A = this chain, B = another copy of it.
Amino acid sequence: MIVVMEPEAGDAAIAAVEAKIRAEGLRVHVSRGTERTLIGAIGDERKLSPAMFETLPGVERALHILKPYKLVAREWHATSTTVRVRGNVIGGNGVQVIAGPCSVETEGQMRAAAAAVAAGGARLMRGGAFKPRTSPYAFQGAGLEGLRMLKEAASRYGLPIVSELMDMRMLDTFLHEGVDVIQIGTRNMQNFDLLKEVGRVDVPVILKRGMSATIGEWLMAAEYIAAGGNHRIVLCERGIRTFETAYRNVLDVTAIPMLKRETHLPVIVDPSHAGGKAWLVAALAGAAVAAGADGLLVEVHPNPPEAWCDADQALTPAEFAMLMHKLAAVAEAVGRTLTGVPRTTSQREDLPVA
């Protein structure tokens, strides 16, 4: 940490800062410049916070030099992590697509959805049984029964399942019903008690980025899970909130290479929620793969106009199959392989333009 003193700060003020740093067990290094005196704290500065110093007389500001995350940082763990889900790998050279409907509705819908997911080539299936809805009057999800419908439908095709956990009291139920990957949603990215709970179990977690979470806050949320002992974490970019109203959110593709540099965890992207429209999915999904994403979370519904939630962002089974072909080509172009879809180098030319 660097403490910047005000121009008129005297020796007593400087000594007080030095004493405070030493009291925390760090060493001190003073540099007197022409306009400011800087005081460096040498040692593990993660114990210190700028607020500890900015209240002292003569201090202009204090700033961290090191990143606050450790377990999830690439600096401390250079090798990229891969997360295994019943034989399927997220991370590494493959690009893994997780697909399925926004919400679990009926048995028939789930069976048709699972068929579409498998036919498209995806190897994991998603479906929401507990839904975080902006309105208390909207459909809140099929609940436990929904989890069972999802599991049953996915099992027919050997697909592991991904579902969102909102209420920590339901964690045991999720484990008991065989949820293979727990999703922590955007609105709960900083629900720290929930993060602590999923940090204690041995089930992979997809951690979605908060609506306006910085990269740093997001990695600290992952650090909460890792600090509990669960290192099977996948980060999911899903669009951030900005001033733009022409689409639901702005997919932040820059986050992908930045995360690849800052953390060893796999990074996937949800193009469906980001844009909020089915017709945007192909362009956004392609962009995500070209930017280096390790996977995608895509909404597919057997009959989108009848979907009980987010109807306008779900792909039809046919659109999903076409998307997978496009993504296979983009993945190949950047030296990777889309899991589940064979390379089709020669057939590619006749595909529609993005």
Contact = CB atoms under 8 A, between A and B. Distances in A.
A345 interface: yes
Interface residues of A, number: 118
Contact of A257 (B42, B283, B307): B283
Contact of A250 (B191, B250, B329): B250
A244 B252 contact: yes
A290 B330 contact: yes
Copies in the complex: 4
Q: Interface SS of chain A: helix, strand, loop or mixed?
A: mixed
Given A250-B242, A352-B322, A191 B192 contact: no
Given A135-B220, A243-B243, A332-B348, 14 more contacts: A29-B31, A34-B42, A52-B311, A54-B277, A56-B305, A68-B134, A93-B353, A134-B190, A253-B253, A253-B283, A286-B291, A287-B288, A326-B334, A332-B333
Interface of A: 2, 4, 7, 29, 31, 33-36, 38, 40, 42-44, 46, 49-52, 54-56, 63, 65-66, 68, 75, 93, 132-138, 166-169, 187-188, 190-193, 196, 210-212, 214-217, 220, 223-224, 227, 240-247, 250-258, 261, 274-275, 277-280, 282-284, 286-292, 304-305, 307, 309-313, 322, 325-326, 329-330, 332-336, 344-345, 347-349, 351-354
